């Protein structure tokens, strides 16, 4: 339970989202994982038995099946479901996965706009089954140096620039996926990167909330401090405040709620996500920032000062010996140009000794 | 995508369509019409099935998503005494209300355009009850009171019974919980019927994917005849794809009263947004403001707005310096990006700043996950080329900050274009804190 993902974590990827899967495998190669992070793909309408991907310069075949049950039977240790179904089917896919007893620890749901009543039912069913739901409406999360969900972190260059290729000291929780990426960058510039990060999702009803993730990070020894980026609307930040006050969370937290602008406009302007609308004074970003600061959470004067606060807290923790120097690991570089081992040629001339492709002998073109 | 309000008329139509299925044993007439002029009402009265408009005393009120219509004196139910309003009087009243601006007690103002007309229902205060349901936290909550009308809102805590219903509660447990919490002061003769109605009301609210549903008052007449005198409803519009037949033509989500005076530019952006797979949003906060934002991404657009408000106050300005709020994201095409930039540049070059300050254009954004930055900047550059004279005339100063796929090329392109055109520009990448360009621009 301490860490969300390890280097051995393998996922079942629901939907054959080739670019996202390729990004995961590129990440695996970069950090020299022993096994690919995607064990098997579930593609309900495909009759193919596998899909080809690159693993570094080479090609590998990732098995493909039609149902989650088949995938689970094939890979009983793959305990993460990456649910990339649309908002119409994401609920059914999650419920089916939860029903497979003992298989999944984590289900990530990317779809935005799942009917609220279905999302609530799904989240409750997962809680009852002891399954952590990340999302809906999220890019997911990452355990740097171990496991990365789909598109988190963007391009491989950005991942390395944002130090997402190896574990740092920070536990990061945000609502927004776009700002997750930005925060990773801010933490890389002003500190030593993150140990674990989750974007909980922008819909009103999400499975795991701030407090669930922060409590897990509290018990993860690799996490030395946490950064929480909240939002106007809802009362989830108060659960964190409560946990800090009653001593459940002892590690330092740096936090900021975005949406302070909303106080200047009485009605009508929706600033941010579906979940982001203050129904009471306590739900405003300003009130939450004040309440968090009063509870002893590090709250900057504005979002623009966040880097300063991070530097201060990290300097303090470094001086105390809590944060120590991180050894930079060797990185493998994914080649910029890759060629598939097979190709289909439709323009050929087989009248001579050897078939030719646009005048060139096939053996000259097809050699890898 | 969220919870959205529908008109009282549409809510009642949804009730009526499913009445037999959910409320068998009760009767509901659904005598309501929605009109946008007095003439439309008079025409309606000539249609088959609407003879009651000529035969019965009427009640007319605006149906435009705002409450407290009684307190705002916007319910027509009497000329000389309650229950004497004729068709002609209702039509004249509607035309009169539509002919001028209406200001509500809340300060909202606008022109009334939609009215609901129903028969006047004679009844006693004792027959009025209150019922509503909504989601609080993770649970549904059913509210019931023996007192309906305006009275329930004064003394809510004493008068209303709440039943919390978790998402996974069985029907049997839910029914038990409702029965156990029926307000004690409901008339003895109505108690059984009210209990049955409350349970069915909750199932209707739940199954039809309402996010909020309130009847105040619901009137229990003789022979299990129910009158829904006033109703407020919000739907969870994300459930629309499952509710195609259930909601049918009644899932219209009108703009709130007083908000319909959107500018043509905001309307044009909203229209482009509805036609595109990408997301384009624009709200003009102060057309005379001198700081304009063109920010990619929903989260980033909020932190930019926050920071501009915070830092303009810190630099001797005020939040009114911020001219707009909005975002473009989700991979807009070059054409869409150009249109969005054109719109903003047009707006920012209409008025000279009262204090003689430069116009500031913040082209901001976080580090994109997969949007090609160079591609989106192409549309902005095209817009610069077209609008360069206006921009110079108003001393538009451009501050750019962006990261993500292909950002180096994007930043280089936009810098070169601005330099070539003679526009003032500062360009920053991911090494600069996302909102720091706001500080740079405002401190200058």
Rounded-to-integer distance, Cα B382 and Cα A5, Å: 45
Residue A54 has a pLDDT of 95
Tell me the pLDDT tens digit for each residue of B300-351.
999 999 999 999 988 888 899 999 999 998 889 999 999 999 999 999 999 9
Residue to substitute from A155, A188, A191, A259, interface B, most B β-carbons within 10 A: A155
Beta pairing, strands A38-42 & A58-65? parallel
- To which H or E segment does residue B356 belong? none
B341 found inside a domain: yes
A87–B167 C-beta distance less than 8 A: no
CA distance, residue A170 to nearest chain B CA (Å): 18
* Tokens read off for B416: 């070169």
Q: Which residue has the higher pLDDT, B119 or A155?
A: B119
Q: Tell me the CATH number at B296.
A: 3.40.50.261
Check if the beta carbon of residue B226 is closer than 8 Å to that of residue B159.
no
Residues 78-97 of A with CB under 8 A from B: 87-88
Tell me the pLDDT tens digit for each residue of B369-389.
878 899 999 999 999 999 999
Tell me the pLDDT tens digit for each residue of A180-235.
999 999 999 999 999 999 999 988 899 999 999 999 999 999 999 999 999 988 88
Q: Looking at the complex, does the CB of residue B136 fall below 8 Å from at least one CB of chain A?
A: no
Residue A30 has pLDDT above 60, yes or no: yes
A22-43: string of b/e by CB count within 10 Å (b at 16+)?
Answer: ebbbbbbbbbebeebbbbbbbb
Q: What is the mean pLDDT of the segment spanning A8-12?
A: 97
A11-319 CATH: 3.40.50.261
Give the closest of B242, B434, B439 to A115, CB-based.
B242
Tell me the pLDDT tens digit for each residue of A126-137.
999 999 999 999
Residue B298 has a pLDDT of 86
Q: At what angle do helices A90-99 and A116-129 cross, to 10 degrees?
A: 20
DSSP A305-362: GHHHHHHHHHHHHHHTTSS-PPPPPP-----SS---S-----SEE-SSSS-EETTEEH
Residue B317 has a pLDDT of 87
Residue B1 has a pLDDT of 47
Residue B186 has a pLDDT of 93
Torsion angle of alpha carbons B97, B102, B108, B113, nearest 10°?
30
Enter the ipTM. Answer: 0.88
- Partnered with residue A50 across adjacent β-strands are A63
pLDDT band at A50 (very low <50, low <70, confident <90, very high): very high
Residue A177 has a pLDDT of 85
Q: Please identify every residue of A annotated as catalytic.
A: 273
Count of CB contacts below 8 A, A vs B?
163
Tell me the pLDDT tens digit for each residue of B235-273.
999 999 999 999 999 998 888 787 656 789 998 998 898
CA distance, residue A53 to nearest chain B CA (Å): 19
CA nearest A258 in B: which residue? B303
DSSP B266-318: HHHHHHHHHH-SSEEEEEES-TT-SEEEEEESHHHHHHHHHHHHHHHHHTT--
Residue A278 has a pLDDT of 60
Residues 159-178 of A with CB under 8 A from B: 161-162, 174-178
Residue A167 has pLDDT above 90, yes or no: yes
With a cut of 50, list the residues of chain B below it in pLDDT: 1
B143 found inside a domain: no
* Tokens read off for A297: 């959470």
Please report residues of B whose CB lies closer than 8 A to that of A302: 306-307, 310-311
Rounded-to-integer distance, Cα A153 and Cα A151, Å: 6
* Tokens read off for B14: 């949804």
- How many whole angstroms from its chain centre is CA A67? 23
In order of A365, B32, B254, the CA distances from B236 in angstroms are 57, 24, 14
Rounded-to-integer distance, Cα A2 and Cα A213, Å: 10
Residue identified by tokens 């003769």 is B189
B30 found inside a domain: no
B201 found inside a domain: no
B210 found inside a domain: no
What is the number of domains present in chain B? Answer: 1
Residue B365 belongs to domain spanning = 264-443
- Alpha helix positions (H), B45-145: 52-55, 87-98
Residue A338 has a pLDDT of 87
- Partnered with residue A61 across adjacent β-strands are A52
B148 found inside a domain: no
In order of A98, A186, A188, A214, the CA distances from A225 in angstroms are 32, 15, 14, 10
Residue A289 has pLDDT above 90, yes or no: yes
Tell me the pLDDT tens digit for each residue of A237-285.
999 999 999 999 999 999 999 999 988 876 556 666 555 556 678 889 9
Burial of residue A367, with CB atoms counted within 10 A of its CB: 0-12 exposed, 13-18 middle, 19 or more buried: exposed
- The beta strand positions in A84-221, using DSSP E, are 106-109, 132-134, 141-143, 147-148, 170-174, 194-199
**CATH 3.40.50.261 domain extents, chain A:** 11-319
CA-wise closest residue to B378 among B337, B430, B340: B337
């Amino acid at each position: 339970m301490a860490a969300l993902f390890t280097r051995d974590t393998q996922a079942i990827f629901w939907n054959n989202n080739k670019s996202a899967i390729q990004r995961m495998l590129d990440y695996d190669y970069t950090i020299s994982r022993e096994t690919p992070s995607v064990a098997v793909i579930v593609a309900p309408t495909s009759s193919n038995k596998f899909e080809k991907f690159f693993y570094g310069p080479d090609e590998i075949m990732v098995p493909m099946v039609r149902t989650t049950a088949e995938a689970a039977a094939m890979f009983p240790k793959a305990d993460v479901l990456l649910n990339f179904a649309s908002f119409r089917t994401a609920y059914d896919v999650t419920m089916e996965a939860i029903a497979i007893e003992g298989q999944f620890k984590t289900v990530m749901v990317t779809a935005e706009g799942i009917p609220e009543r279905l999302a609530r039912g799904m989240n409750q069913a997962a809680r009852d089954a002891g399954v952590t739901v990340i999302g809906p409406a999220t890019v997911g999360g990452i355990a740097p140096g171990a496991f990365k969900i789909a598109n988190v972190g963007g391009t491989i260059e950005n991942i390395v620039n944002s130090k997402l290729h190896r574990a740092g000291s920070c536990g990061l929780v945000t609502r927004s996926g776009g700002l997750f990426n930005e925060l990773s960058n801010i933490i890389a510039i002003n500190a030593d990167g993150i140990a674990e990060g989750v974007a909980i999702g922008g819909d009103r009803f999400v499975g795991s909330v701030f407090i669930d993730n922060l409590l897990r990070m509290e018990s993860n020894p690799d996490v030395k401090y946490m950064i929480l980026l909240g939002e106007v609307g809802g009362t989830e930040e108060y659960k964190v405040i409560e946990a800090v006050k009653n001593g459940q969370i002892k590690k330092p937290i740096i936090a900021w709620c975005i949406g302070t602008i909303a106080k200047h406009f009485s009605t009508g302007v929706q600033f941010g996500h579906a979940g982001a609308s203050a129904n009471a004074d306590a739900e405003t970003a300003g009130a939450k920032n004040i309440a968090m600061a009063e509870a002893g959470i590090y709250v900057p004067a504005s979002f623009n000062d966040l880097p300063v606060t991070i530097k201060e807290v990290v300097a303090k923790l470094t001086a105390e010996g809590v944060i120590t120097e991180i050894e930079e690991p060797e990185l493998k570089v994914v080649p910029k140009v890759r060629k598939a081992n097979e190709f289909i040629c439709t323009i050929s001339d087989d009248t001579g000794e050897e078939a030719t492709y646009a005048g060139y002998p096939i053996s000259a073109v097809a050699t890898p | 995508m969220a919870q959205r309000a529908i008109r009282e008329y549409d809510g009642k139509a949804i009730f009526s369509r499913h009445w037999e299925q959910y409320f068998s044993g009760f009767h509901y007439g659904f005598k309501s019409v929605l009109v946008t002029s007095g003439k439309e009402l008079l025409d309606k009265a000539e249609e088959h099935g609407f003879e009651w408009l000529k035969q019965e005393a009427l009640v007319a009120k605006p149906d435009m998503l705002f409450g407290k219509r009684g307190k705002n004196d916007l319910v027509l139910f009497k000329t000389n005494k309650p229950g004497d309003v004729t068709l002609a009087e209702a039509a004249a009243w509607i035309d009169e209300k539509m002919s001028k601006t209406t200001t509500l007690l809340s300060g909202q103002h606008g022109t009334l355009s939609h009215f609901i007309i129903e028969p006047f229902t004679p009844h006693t205060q004792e027959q009025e009850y209150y019922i509503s349901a909504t989601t609080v936290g993770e649970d549904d909550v059913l509210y019931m009171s023996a007192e309906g009308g305006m009275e329930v809102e004064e003394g809510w805590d004493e008068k209303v019974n709440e039943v919390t219903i978790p998402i996974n509660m069985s029907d049997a447990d839910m029914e038990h919980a409702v029965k156990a919490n029926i307000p004690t002061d409901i008339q003895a003769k109505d108690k059984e019927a009210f209990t049955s109605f409350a349970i069915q009301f909750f199932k209707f609210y739940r199954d039809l994917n309402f996010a909020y549903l309130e009847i105040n008052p619901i009137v229990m007449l003789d022979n299990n005849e129910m009158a829904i005198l006033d109703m407020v409803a919000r739907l969870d519009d994300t459930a629309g794809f499952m509710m195609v037949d259930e909601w049918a033509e009644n899932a219209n989500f009108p703009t709130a009263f007083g908000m319909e005076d959107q500018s043509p530019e905001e309307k044009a952006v909203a229209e482009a947004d509805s036609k595109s797979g990408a997301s384009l949003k624009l709200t003009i906060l102060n057309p005379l403001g001198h700081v304009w934002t063109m920010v990619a991404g929903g989260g980033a657009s909020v932190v930019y707005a926050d920071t501009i408000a915070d830092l303009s106050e810190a630099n001797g300005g005020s939040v009114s310096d911020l001219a707009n709020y909005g975002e473009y994201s989700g991979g807009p095409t070059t054409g869409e990006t150009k249109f969005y930039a054109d719109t903003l540049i047009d707006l920012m070059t209409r008025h000279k700043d009262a204090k003689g300050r430069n116009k500031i254009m913040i082209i901001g954004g976080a580090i994109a996950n997969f949007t090609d930055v160079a591609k989106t900047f192409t549309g902005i550059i095209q817009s610069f080329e077209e609008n360069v004279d206006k921009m110079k005339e108003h001393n538009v100063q451009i501050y750019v900050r962006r990261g993500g796929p292909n950002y180096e090329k994007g930043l280089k392109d936009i810098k070169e274009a601005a330099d070539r055109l003679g526009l003032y520009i500062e360009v920053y990448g991911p090494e600069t804190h996302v909102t720091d360009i706001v500080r740079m621009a405002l401190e200058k």
